[in-house]
A and B are shown apart, each in its own frame.
Chain A
Amino acid sequence: MKNETISVLIVDDNPDLIQSQEYILKKAGFRTFTAVGGKDGLRMAQSIFPDIILLDIEMPDLSGIELLKILKADTLTSNIFVILITAYLKESDHQVKGLESGADAYLTRPLPSKLFLAQFQVYADHVMALNLVKKSEAKLNKVIQQNPDPMLVVNQEGIIIFSNPAAEEMFRLKTSLLGKEFGFPAVAGTKSIINILTGTNEIKTCELRVTPIEFDQRQSYLCSIRDVSHLIRYENELEKLNRLYRVLSMVNRSLMTIEEETVLIQTIGSIFLETAEFDLVTLLLCPCHFKTAEPEKFVFGNDQKRIPESDLFLYLDEPMVRENILTHKKQLIFNSIKNSVINQYELRSLGIFPVVVNEEVRFILQLFSKEPGFFDKSEIDLINEISGDISFVLKHVESERIRKEDEQQLAAQKELFERIINTIPVMITRFDPKTNVTMVNAEFEKKTGYSNDLINRINLMEEAYPDEGERQRAADYMLRAEIAWEEFRVRKHDGGYLDSIWSNIRVSSGLLIGIGIDLTDKKLIESTIKYAQIKGEELSRIKANLMANMSHELRTPMIGILGYAEILEEVATDSEILEMAKIINSGAQRLIETLNLILDYSRLEAEKQSFDLFDFDLLTLAQEVIRLNDKTAKKKNLSVELKSDHKQVTVYSDERAFFQIFNNIISNALKYTLNGSVTISISVLEEDETEFVEIAIADTGIGIKPENLNLIWQEFRQVSEGMGRNFEGTGLGLTITKKLCDLLGVKIRVESKENIGTTFLLKLPKSTSTKKRKTVTRTSVEELTVSSDKLATLLYVDDEDTPFEIVSMHLAKICKVQHARNGEEALKLLEGDEKFAAILMDINLREGLDGVELTRLIRKMPRFALLPIVAITAFAMPGDREIFLSEGCTDYIAKPFKRDSLIHTIKKYIV
């Protein structure tokens, strides 16, 4: 029975009425109390706090209205539901008074008992409902009060109407939250994240849950606030770290494939910006410390260049920052930027990280975030790890690049080397320590018929040296690998023999290389000359002409040998190649000296030698010759001295011839002297009022036996001859010297004692003419270099490829060279679009027109009348030059030529 919960106090001055009403209500289940009279009623009401008071108005001691006023005025009893009851229907003023005094309801008597109960039940139900509400509110209050989470109740206007102790604790305001304006909670669903601003200036990230409730019987909102700062921080942290981990994996994955440093840097910048979601990223590439060079700057994420670069790199201008980054190579963190310049761009955190490659700061990464306190220990650790990985990637990229460049350079060098090896007119072989030949070059195959393919199938040493003794000599010589030249007769594949001189070297890697030069031509000349000599005087002229003709054939291969050796010495970076180049060069130089001696001799024999007579100083000339022989002297530990009482000894003669005379005698002296010195004394004497110059060149050498003294002037003779001869050389030097002296009117004689030494004495008149020698100045190759964008083009007409290749390599820096192999090709090229600055003209073109005919033809064309044509030929006998110039050539270069003299001549026609 729900009525049991309701207690009713019946107050009346009439006990009968009390009894009848009590009866009805008790029967209906209410708990009833009774009081007779007003005073008793008040006492009862204040002690039992009934839910309802049924109050009679007309009572003598204390009227119902009075009692009502007292009850409603007291908070403890004000909530009691009071029903006034009276018998006087017409006393409406009672009714008004009662209601005014706070009565909750009004009943009139007489009232049939059924109607009375029905009426009363309505009021009782209302009281019951009210009680229920009061109970739940009390419960809610209790729940909110005791909740450990901060809770607020706000009304529709957003005003706080209730707060619990936890909320007060959280907000830490000076006064209570009650009555303050929190704001209408506008959240989607039931919760959202807000930031609480506390009275102590803290900002707490909180989760706000909102539940609509009826509070104090009004529509309100219960706001439950939970501090989730640590959770949010944790979440943020995880998110940030996750982004940085993605950067780490991207750096490792994608950067490996990038080869260009700038592309790499662009990629790194974008990854930090996009993947790690920094607000701004800058990269400063420092090639070295930025004191010396302006570093390259990269900026990522600066939309519309809002922030000037000077502001972005502001921190890096500070000495402290530089010191930390560049010297200590450590990161610098600004987690709440105080700098007002940076602050205006809403950037709150900055991390400056150096990326170190090979102990050097390669670039500096600046990471800006709008989030304050972005960089925690884990972030810093992770970014340092990333920078370590970037450095690894950079190192890898760099080493890859260097490796590729090395490979390319090596390949280019190898190609050049192979090209030279296979075009150089010198035989080259490679062999192992058991003298098994493992490689031969094209020249070797050409001269001997043994190809690379063949040497793998046969025993080359047995084939080439069928005689066992000779084979052993060759093998011993090969393995000694000393700097020397020795002659060998090599049996060719076709059974014939090849006279050749060989030198062997052991290059740094232990590789053994043989270098051979074909002596057939030289041998042929020698034997021809010997034959001619035996045949006697009448053959002398034939001999000379033969020499002149052979000159061409001898000079031509020398172009390749000398030219390639010079180029190789210049370009080779590999020590093995350089060593080989030097040996080839010195061998070639020796051959050319020999050749020049032979040609000088033949020129003298043919009596075609002409002299240029000028005044010159003998002392200066002697010093020049001493300097030239200095190397040889030092090698043998010999001293060469010049003695004279004069500062200058001027003679009127041919300086070039005298140079040759001095050089022949001094080099001869050095050759035959094993220890001691060579002394040149120049003195002036007077005989019969004529001044003479006497030159004595004395050595402390092996000396000459008296019976051999006349032998030295003879051509091709050495005191020791044959296979067992002790000293190298052609034996032509002194013969030429004698001839030159005779022609110049210089008296020459020799005094010698075996094992003591030899003295050459020269005597000539000291003349005084006023004819002075012209001075020729040399131009260095560097001065000759022309910038490549305006290179002139030359046409080179030569039937052979080797001279063309040499010439184009030598001239590569100053002009371009086009090749025509014959007259026909040359004319076709001349008629083409190309404008040639000059023509280089070989004379012996084998097929079709020769160089002289071609020059005549070109000269007939009016537009080429003035085109420079330079004869470049192995026709280098006396008088040849004059012939070519008279046929229309502008200039003349003899083959073989030295690089410098070639460039010097060509330069005149291309500038």
Chain B
Amino acid sequence: MRKYQLKLYITGKTARSEQAVSNLKSLCKSNLNDDYELLIIDVLDSPELAVQDQVLATTTLIKILPLPVRRIVGDLTDTQRVLLGLEIKV
């Protein structure tokens, strides 16, 4: 089991969503020591999951583990803000 369990909600394979994914991956690589699991969910493919998780907007990143559960919304370009929002101290 990885230390970080992440879920990323995107809408379609657009340039923006692909940018968000790549931002996140590079962030994870340099800050989470690659010790993470990331589940990417396209709301176009699985709208029911978004409802279940009560996702109000995309791009939304949910940190499931370690607790507390935190979610952030936005373009994930500002690493510091992402880490702050996820309450991850590095």
Inter-subunit contact B12/A184 (CB<8 Å): no
A573 at the interface (CB under 8 A from B): no
Q: Which of A139-193 contact B (CB under 8 A)?
A: 157-158, 171, 180-189, 192-193
Assembly CA distance A359 to B16 (angstroms)? 43
Q: Is the CB of B78 within 8 A of A194?
A: no
Q: Mark B61-78, 1 if CB is under 8 A from A, else 0.
A: 100000000111111111
Q: Is A642 an interface residue (CB 8 A)?
A: no
Q: Which of A17-25, A196-204, A499-507, A561-569 contacts B (4 or more CB under 8 A)?
A: A196-204
Complex contact B81–A187 (CB within 8 A): yes
Q: Does A394 contact B (CB under 8 A)?
A: no
**Is there contact, CB below 8 Å, between A370 and B12?**
yes
**Of B56, B77, B81, the contact of A196 (CB 8 Å cutoff):** B56
Provide the bound-state CA to CA distance between A402 and B62, in Å. 65
Cβ–Cβ contact B76 & A186, under 8 A: yes
Minimum C-beta distance from A341 to chain B (A): 15
CB distance from B83 to the nearest CB of A (A): 9
> CB distance A195 to B76 under 8 Å?
no
- State which residues 192-220 of A face B: CB under 8 Å: 192-197, 201, 203, 206, 208, 210
Q: How far is the CA of A543 from the CA of B13 in the complex (A)?
A: 105
A182, B74: Cα distance in complex, Å: 11
- Determine if B54 and A183 form an interchain contact, defined as CB atoms under 8 angstroms apart: no
Partner of A195, one of B58, B70, B71, B72: B58
Q: Which residues of A contact B77 (CB under 8 A)?
A: 187-188, 192
B21 on interface, CB distance cutoff 8 Å: no
B5 CB within 8 Å of chain A: no
Contact residues in B for A185 (Cβ distance below 8 Å): 72-74, 85
A192 touches B70 (CB 8 A): no
Asked whether any CB of chain A lies closer than 8 Å to the CB of B40, the reply is no
Interface pair B74/A194, CB less than 8 Å apart: yes
Q: Which of B11, B44, B72, B84 contacts A183 (CB 8 A)?
A: B72
Q: Which residue of B lies closest to A347 (CB)?
A: B13
Contact with A along B44-64 (1 / 0, CB 8 A): 100100100011111111000
Residue B43 at the chain A interface, CB threshold 8 Å? yes
Report yes or no: B50 in contact with A197, Cβ–Cβ below 8 A. Answer: yes
B30: interface (CB < 8 Å): no
In contact, B85 and A182 (Cβ under 8 angstroms)? no
Are B73 and A194 within 8 A (Cβ)?
Answer: yes
The listed residue (A188, A206, A348) touching B75 by CB distance below 8 A is: A188
The answer to whether A193 touches B16 (Cβ under 8 A) is yes
Residue on B with the closest CB to A173?
B56
Q: Is the CB of B13 within 8 A of A370?
A: yes
Q: Assess whether B85 is in contact with A186, with CB atoms less than 8 Å apart.
A: yes
Contacting residues, chain B, for A181 (C-beta < 8 A): 54, 56, 71
Instruction: Please determine whether B44 and A372 come into contact, CB atoms closer than 8 angstroms.
Output: yes
B59 touches A194 (CB 8 A): yes
Residues of B contacting A188 with CB < 8 Å?
75, 77-78, 81
A203–B43 touching, CB < 8 Å: yes
A283 to B: closest C-beta gap in Å: 24
Q: Report which residue of A186, A187, A348 has the largest number of chain B beta carbons within 10 angstroms of its beta carbon.
A: A186
CB nearest to A369 among chain B residues: B13
* Residues of the A chain whose Cβ atoms lie less than 8 Å from the Cβ of B16: 193
* CB neighbours of B14 from chain A (8 A): 371
Cα–Cα distance between A21 and B50 once the two chains are bound (Å): 65
Q: Hey, which chain B residues are within 8 Å of A171, CB to CB?
A: 56
Residues of chain A contacted by B56 (CB below 8 angstroms): 171, 180-183, 196-197
Per-position binary interface string of chain B over residues 9-45, scored 1 when its CB falls under 8 Å from any chain A CB and 0 otherwise:
0011110100000000000000000000000000110
Contact between A197 and B12, CB atoms less than 8 A apart: no
Q: Is the CB of B85 within 8 A of A187?
A: no
Set of chain A residues within 8 Å of B58, measured between Cβ atoms = 194-195, 197
**How many of chain A's residues have a CB under 8 angstroms from any CB in B?**
29
Give the tally of cross-chain contacts (CB within 8 A): 99
List A contacts of B50 (CB < 8 A): 197
Contacts of B12 in A (CB 8 A): 348, 370-372
A384, B71: Cα distance in complex, Å = 46
Query: CB-CB < 8 A to A203: which residues of B?
Result: 11, 43
Q: Is the CB of A208 within 8 A of B72?
A: no
| Across-interface contacts of A100 in B (CB, < 8 A) | none
Confirm or deny: A346 has a beta carbon within 8 angstroms of a beta carbon on chain B: yes
CB closest chain-B residue, reference A187: B74
What chain A residues lie within 8 Å of B43 (beta carbons)? 195, 197, 203
Residues of B within 8 A of A192 (CB): 74-75, 77
By a CB distance below 8 angstroms, the chain A residues around B81 are: 184, 186-188
Q: Smallest distance from the beta carbon of B42 to chain A beta carbons, Å?
A: 8
Between B12, B73, B77, the greatest number of chain A beta carbons within 10 A of the residue's beta carbon is seen for B73
CA distance A203 to B51 in the complex (A): 13
Task: Give the Cβ gap from B13 to chain A, nearest Cβ, in Å.
Answer: 5
Contacts of B72 in A (CB 8 A): 158, 183-186
- Chain B residues near A196: list those with CB within 8 A: 56-57
Enumerate chain A residues within 8 angstroms of B75, measured Cβ to Cβ: 186-188, 192-194
Q: Across the interface, which residues of A come within 8 angstroms of B73, CB to CB?
A: 158, 182-186, 194, 208
Instruction: For the complex formed, measure the closest distance between the CB of B67 and the CB atoms of chain A, giving whole angstroms.
Output: 13
Chain B residues in 8 Å Cβ range of A184? 70-73, 81, 84-86
Asked whether B85 lies within 8 Å of A183 as measured between CB atoms, the reply is: yes
Task: Please give me the residue from chain B that is nearest to A182 by CB atom.
Answer: B56
Residue numbers in A under 8 Å from B55 (CB-CB): 197
A240 to chain B, nearest CB (A): 12
Q: Chain A's nearest CB lies how many Å from the CB of B47?
A: 7
Q: Is the CB of B60 within 8 A of A183?
A: yes
Contact A182 B57 (CB under 8 A): yes
CA of A186 to CA of B87, assembled, Å: 12
Give Cα A192 to B84, complex, Å. 18
CA distance A208 to B73 in the complex (A): 10
A157 surroundings in chain B (CB, below 8 A): 70
Query: What residues of B have a CB within 8 angstroms of the CB of A208 in the complex?
Result: 57, 73-74
Find out whether the CB atom of B74 lies under 8 angstroms from the CB atom of A186.
yes
B-chain residues with CB within 8 Å of residue A348 when the two chains form the complex: 12
Query: Are A158 and B13 closer than 8 Å at their CB atoms?
Result: no
- Cβ-defined contact, B70 with A187, below 8 A: no
Tell me which residues across on chain B come within 8 A of A210, comparing CB atoms. 74
A70-B76 Cα distance, complex, nearest whole Å = 52
A611 to nearest B CB, angstroms? 98
Nearest CB on A from B85, distance (A): 3
B78 contacts across to A, CB distance below 8 A: 186-189
Contacting pair A197 B70 (CB below 8 A): no
Q: Nearest Cβ in chain B — how far from A220, in angstroms?
A: 13
Query: B68 CB to closest chain A CB, in angstroms?
Result: 8
A residues 492-510 near B (Cβ < 8 Å) are none
Given the complex, which residues of A lie within 8 Å of B76, measured CB to CB? 186
- A206 contacts which chain B residues (CB < 8 A)? 57
Chain B residues in 8 Å Cβ range of A372 = 12, 44
B88 to nearest A CB, angstroms? 12
A157 to B, closest residue via Cβ:
B70
A158 touches B47 (CB 8 A): no
The answer to whether A186 and B13 touch across the interface, beta carbons within 8 angstroms, is no
User: What's the nearest-Cβ distance from chain B to residue A51, in Å?
Assistant: 39
Closest to B17 in A: A195
For B85, list chain A residues within 8 Å (CB): 158, 183-186
Rounded to whole Å, the gap between the CB of A468 and the closest CB of chain B is 95
- Report the Cα distance A193→B74, complex, angstroms: 7
Q: Which residue of A lies closest to B85 (CB)?
A: A184
A183 to B50, CA, bound (A): 14
Q: How far is the CB of B72 from chain A (nearest CB, A)?
A: 4
A–B complex contacts, Cβ < 8 Å, 19 sampled: A171-B56, A181-B56, A182-B73, A183-B60, A183-B71, A184-B85, A185-B73, A185-B85, A186-B73, A186-B76, A186-B82, A187-B77, A189-B78, A193-B75, A197-B56, A197-B57, A203-B11, A210-B74, A372-B12
Contacts A158-B73, A192-B75, A370-B12 known; list 7 others, CB within 8 Å.
A158-B72, A182-B56, A182-B57, A183-B73, A186-B81, A193-B16, A195-B57
Task: Give the 10 A-B residue pairs with the shortest CB-CB distance, closest first.
Answer: A184-B85, A183-B73, A188-B78, A192-B75, A187-B74, A183-B71, A186-B81, A188-B77, A186-B74, A186-B72
B positions within 8 Å CB-CB of A: 11-14, 16, 43-44, 47, 50, 54-61, 70-78, 81-82, 84-86
